[in-house]
Structure 1
Amino acid sequence: MVVSAAQRRHAIPGDREHNSGSEAVAGLAARKAAARLLAAVIDARTPLDGLTDHENGHPQYKALDLRDRALVRAILVTALRYRMTISGLLARRLEKPLPPNATALSHILHVAAAQILFLDVPDSAAVDLAVTHAKSDPRTARFSGLVNGVLRTLARSKQDELAAALAATDEAPKWFSDRLKTVYGPDKARQILLAHRHEAPVDFSVKSDPALWAERLGGFVLPTGTVRVEKLSASVTELPGFGEGAWWVQDAAASLPARLLGDINGLRIADLCAAPGGKTAQLILAGAHVTALDMSRTRLARLTQNLERLGLAAEIVEADLLKYEPKNRFDAVLLDAPCSSTGTVRRHPDVPWTKAAADVEKLADLQRRLLARAITLVKPGGRIVFSNCSLDPLEGEELYRDFLAGNAEIIDDPLRPGEIAGIDPFLTPQGTLRTTPADLELGSPARSGLDGFFAARMRRAAKGRS
C-alpha cells in the first residue's frame, strides 16, 4: 500500500509561536504535548479522547491554542494509526533496541516520524524540533545526536522504504492482531487492519429526506438510509442543518440496532446505557415513548443537550442499570452495552493500545450481567435488542449463544433477510447482525467501511414473570 499525496496532506494548521519561559521555539510546545500525550496513551493506557478534550483534557494540551491543538491531535492519531510501521522503520536505524526505560526518547522519535512519513510537515522542521525537544529533557538530552541521525536517515529513505513497510506490517499490537486472525481468518483480519489505517467518513442520521440532506451536505445515501460524507467542508456545528436539528452524527453501523426493534410506534421503550443519545433520537422519531437511562451524569448532560438541539424529548434517568427499578416494565428495551470498543478503531486508533485481551473478557462479563438485568425490565413477550461496538465474539456471538443456552426465559428472535432495508449483507446465518470496518466496500477507503458492531434480537417468553 502506497500512501498517496492526499493521505499525507492532513488538514493541519501551521505552527504557532509560544513564548512561555524557555518555550520560545515555534512549534516546540505542540511537539512536547504530542509526546507527553502519546506517553499517556501507550504507557498509562489513557484514552485519547479524554486527553484531548477541550474542557477537561490534559493541562499541557489545554495550554495550547486551538490551531496547535489540532496539530497535536493530527500527530497523535497518525502516530497511533501507523505505530507498527513507524516502529519498524525506526528500529532499522538503531544499532540496538532502545532500553525499556527509554520511553521518553521513543515517544519523541514517534512524534517526529509520524510527521516525516505521513503529515504535510517539512522534514527539516520535524527533525529540528525533535532534536530541540530531546536536548530540553534531562532524560533524553544525551541522545539528541541519535535523534538527529535516525530521523534524517528516515527522511532521506522514506520514498524507497515506506510502501514496502506498510505492505509488510500489521498495524496493531500483537494481542489484537492475533485475535482478529483467530476470529476472522488471516484475509479478513488483514482487510480490517488495512481499514483501520484510514480516517473514517462522517455519517449522519437524518430526521427525514436523506436524499435532500445528502445533496446539502455534499454526500451520498447508503443502502441503510444513512447519509455519508467523505470529508467535511466545515466543522459539524457550521454545517447546514445543525442549528435546526435536522440530523446528528452517527456511524451507519451504530444506527442499525435501534431499527431491529421493528414497529415501535406508541410503545414504551427503554434505551439502556443511552448516552450520547443517537439511538434515543432514533427511537423517539420512530414514535416510541422513550426512557433514556445512563449512570453517567456528564454523559446524560450531553444526551440532554443533543436532544434539545434535535427538538426531541425523552424521560431521562440517571441510574445504574444493575440497580434500576422502574415502576412498570417496558414494551421493549435496547441495550447497547459498554464494551472494548474494538469496532471503532478507525475513529479511535488508541483503542488497541489502551485495551488488552483481559479487558475484553472483563467487559464481556459485565455485558452478561447487564443483559440479565435488562430482560427483567421488559414485559413478557416484549423484545430485547442487545448490541455493542466490539469486533470480538467474546462480547458478541459467543456471549449471545451462551446467554440463550443458559436462560429459558429468553427466546431467540432472529433477523430475517429482507426484513430491514440495507442490512442483509450484515446478517449472520444465525440471524444476528455483524459488521466490520472491512464491510460495505464502495470503491475507496474514503467512502467505504463502517464500525464493527454486533447486535442480536430476542424476546422475553410470554409466560415469564409479570
Structure 2
Amino acid sequence: MVEQGLAARQAAAALLRGVLVDGRLLSELPAPKLSDPAELARAQRLAVTTLRWQDRADRLLGRYLRKMPPAEAMVLLRLGTVEICEEGAAAHGVVNAMVSLAQKHKSTKHFKGLINATLRKVGGEGRGKWRSLPAPQLPKWLRKPLGDDYGKATVVAMEEVQAMQPPLDLTVKNGDSQALAEKLGGEVMPGGSVRLREFGQVSKLPGFKEGDWWVQDMAASLPVQLLDLKPGETALDLCAAPGGKTMQMAALGADVTALDLSEKRMARVQENLNRTGLKAKLVTGDALEHQGQYDAILLDAPCSATGTMRRHPDLARAKDGSDFPGLFELQERMIDHALTLLAPGGRLVFCTCSLLPDEGEIQAEDALKRHDNLEIIQPNLPFIDPAWIKPEGGIRLRPDYLADQGGMDGFYMALMRKT
C-alpha cells in the first residue's frame, strides 16, 4: 500500500513519464488507479502543472545540476520543483516524497542522493528565485515557426498567457449567459461564454447534472456562431467528438448529423447529448467517405492542436512537429470532400484549433485557388475585433487575445460558400 500523501505524487510521476519519456499524450495514457477522486484530481493537476512550468523548472534546476540526469530522474526533479515553487508545498515533505519515489524504480534509485540534495537547494534559495525567472517558453521546434509567423513579441505574449492556470469556459444551452454567470459567480465573455476563474470539481457545479451547460473554450464556441444556423436546417458536424459544437448546433434547432471516426469518442458525444437533453444523429465513420447533402457543414479538422496548449501542455512535450505535413494534406482533402456535401447555396465553416497558418489562413487561401466557385464570407459577428480578421476573410484567434480576462485558445475559422 502506498503511504498517505504519496499516492497522488506517484501517479503524477507515472503520467509525466508517459509524456516525457515515452512521448505519449496524457489523453493516450491510462487514468491512474486511485480510488479517491480527490487524489486522482490532485495527481492529474500535478502532472499538468509540472508540464506547464517545465521550462522554468529546468532553468532553476540548471543552477544546481552539473549535468542533466536521465529522463526518469528529471521527472522527479521537475515534479518536486514545481510542487515546491509553484504550488507552495512544504519543501521537506516534497523532498522526502521524491526520494521515496526514486527508491521505488530501478532507473532512479541510484539518483536519490542527487534528488535529495538538489531539491533541498530548490526548497531553500531556489524558491526565492522562482518568480524572477522568465515565463516558460515553448520548445524550439514550435517556438521558431511561430516566431517566423507572428514575431518574437507575440510569441512571448502567448507564452505568458499559456503559463497561467486557464479559466473554465461554459456554453449555455438556453443562451441566457448572464443568468448563469450571476449564479456561478462568473463573467460573460464575447460570444456569450460564461467564464469562471475559480471553480472546483466541474461535475459538482450547479446545472451540470441538469445539462444546462457544457465546458467549451470561448474560442471553440465561435465557429458554430459563424455558421449562423437556422432552425430546421440540415447540419453536419464532421469530426464531432467530444460534441461541444454538436450540442451548440442542436440547441439552435438544426437537424444535426454528427460524425467521427472513433467509436469510443462517439460514445462520449452520446453521453453529452444525453446529459443536456439534446438530439443529433450519430454516425461513426470516415469523414472522407461520408455522403449526403447539407445546408451547413462544420469541419473542425484534425490538426496539430497547438492552439490548445494552455490547457494541454503535454502537446508541446510529447510532439515534435514531424506529423504536421500529413495533417496539412489531410485538411486539404477534407475541405475538398466537405464542399461536395453542400446543398446548393450551402455554407461550410472550416476551423482548426491550431496556431500554425499552414492549418488556417494558408488552407483557406489554397481552397480558393482550387475551387473557382468558392468564396469566403466576411464574418458578421459584432463582438469580433476587426484586428482578428485576416485578409482572406477568416478569423485568427490567439492565446494572448483578451489576456487581461484570461486569454483564449488559438483558433482559425473561415466561413465558405459556393458561388
1:57-206 matches, within 5 Å, as 57-58=30-31, 61-63=32-34, 65-98=36-69, 102-165=70-133, 167=134, 170-206=136-172
Deviation of 1:405 (Å): 1.1
Instruction: Look up the match of 2:6.
Output: 28
Instruction: Look up the match of 1:42.
Output: 20
Which of 344, 348, 362 is the aligned partner of 1:398? 362
CA–CA distance in structure 2, aligned partners of residues 136 and 318 of structure 1? 43
Post-superposition CA distance 1:124-179 (Å, at most 9, x none): 011111122223333222222211111111111124321232x2x54221112222
Instruction: Look up the match of 2:400.
Output: 438
CA–CA distance in structure 2, aligned partners of residues 170 and 145 of structure 1? 27
Post-superposition CA distance 1:265-311 (Å, at most 9, x none): 32111111112221112212223211111121111111112112222
Deviation of 1:211 (Å): 1.1
Paired residues of 2:300 and 2:352 also in contact (CA < 8 A) = yes
SS where residue 335 of structure 2 aligns? helix
Paired residues of 1:108 and 1:130 also in contact (CA < 8 A) = yes
SS where residue 271 of structure 1 aligns? strand
Deviation of 1:436 (Å): 1.0
- The AA in structure 2 aligned to 1:33 is A
Instruction: Look up the match of 2:418.
Output: 460
Which of 249, 258, 267 is the aligned partner of 2:215? 249
- The AA in structure 2 aligned to 1:428 is K
Structure 2 CA distance for partners of 1:30 and 1:214, relative to 1, 3 Å: closer
Structure 2 CA distance for partners of 1:372 and 1:217, relative to 1, 3 Å: same
CA–CA distance in structure 1, aligned partners of residues 194 and 131 of structure 2? 33
CA–CA distance in structure 2, aligned partners of residues 355 and 421 of structure 1? 37
Post-superposition CA distance 1:426-449 (Å, at most 9, x none): 3223321111110013x3xxx321
Mean Cα displacement is larger for which, 235-244 or 77-86? 235-244
Mean Cα displacement is larger for which, 212-221 or 282-291? 282-291
Deviation of 1:389 (Å): 0.5
Structure 2 CA distance for partners of 1:301 and 1:263, relative to 1, 3 Å: closer
- The AA in structure 2 aligned to 1:119 is E
Mean Cα displacement is larger for which, 25-34 or 294-303? 25-34
Paired residues of 2:21 and 2:72 also in contact (CA < 8 A) = no
CA–CA distance in structure 2, aligned partners of residues 281 and 189 of structure 1? 33
Which of 262, 266, 273 is the aligned partner of 1:307? 273
SS where residue 321 of structure 1 aligns? coil
Paired residues of 1:361 and 1:394 also in contact (CA < 8 A) = no
Deviation of 1:230 (Å): 1.0
Structure 2 CA distance for partners of 1:28 and 1:237, relative to 1, 3 Å: closer
Whether 1:216 aligns to 2:180 is no
- The AA in structure 2 aligned to 1:410 is L
- The AA in structure 1 aligned to 2:350 is F
1:253-272 matches, within 5 Å, as 253-272=219-238
Which of 234, 239, 256 is the aligned partner of 2:205? 239
Paired residues of 1:412 and 1:457 also in contact (CA < 8 A) = yes
CA–CA distance in structure 2, aligned partners of residues 355 and 139 of structure 1? 24
Structure 2 CA distance for partners of 1:148 and 1:294, relative to 1, 3 Å: same
- The AA in structure 1 aligned to 2:336 is A
Instruction: Look up the match of 2:384.
Output: 423
Whether 1:368 aligns to 2:332 is yes
Paired residues of 1:170 and 1:190 also in contact (CA < 8 A) = no
Deviation of 1:263 (Å): 4.5
CA–CA distance in structure 2, aligned partners of residues 239 and 64 of structure 1? 21
Which of 295, 319, 334 is the aligned partner of 2:261? 295
CA–CA distance in structure 2, aligned partners of residues 243 and 67 of structure 1? 19
SS where residue 298 of structure 2 aligns? strand
Deviation of 1:185 (Å): 0.6
Deviation of 1:63 (Å): 4.3
CA–CA distance in structure 1, aligned partners of residues 105 and 269 of structure 2? 42
TM-score normalised according to structure 1 size: 0.85
- The AA in structure 1 aligned to 2:385 is D
Post-superposition CA distance 1:293-333 (Å, at most 9, x none): 1121111111112112222111211111111123xx11121
Paired residues of 2:57 and 2:82 also in contact (CA < 8 A) = yes
CA–CA distance in structure 1, aligned partners of residues 277 and 36 of structure 2? 33
Paired residues of 1:245 and 1:311 also in contact (CA < 8 A) = yes
- Structure 1 portions without partners, runs of 5+: 1-18, 52-56, 462-466
SS where residue 78 of structure 2 aligns? helix
TM-score normalised according to structure 2 size: 0.95
RMSD: 1.8
Structure 2 CA distance for partners of 1:270 and 1:193, relative to 1, 3 Å: same
Post-superposition CA distance 1:322-372 (Å, at most 9, x none): 11123xx11121101111111111111111112222222221211111111
Percent identity between the aligned chains? 39
Instruction: Look up the match of 1:348.
Output: 312
Mean Cα displacement is larger for which, 355-364 or 144-153? 355-364
Deviation of 1:65 (Å): 3.0
SS where residue 412 of structure 1 aligns? strand
SS where residue 110 of structure 2 aligns? helix
CA–CA distance in structure 2, aligned partners of residues 162 and 356 of structure 1? 27
Post-superposition CA distance 1:22-75 (Å, at most 9, x none): x4x433343333222211101222111343xxxxx24xx214532322221122
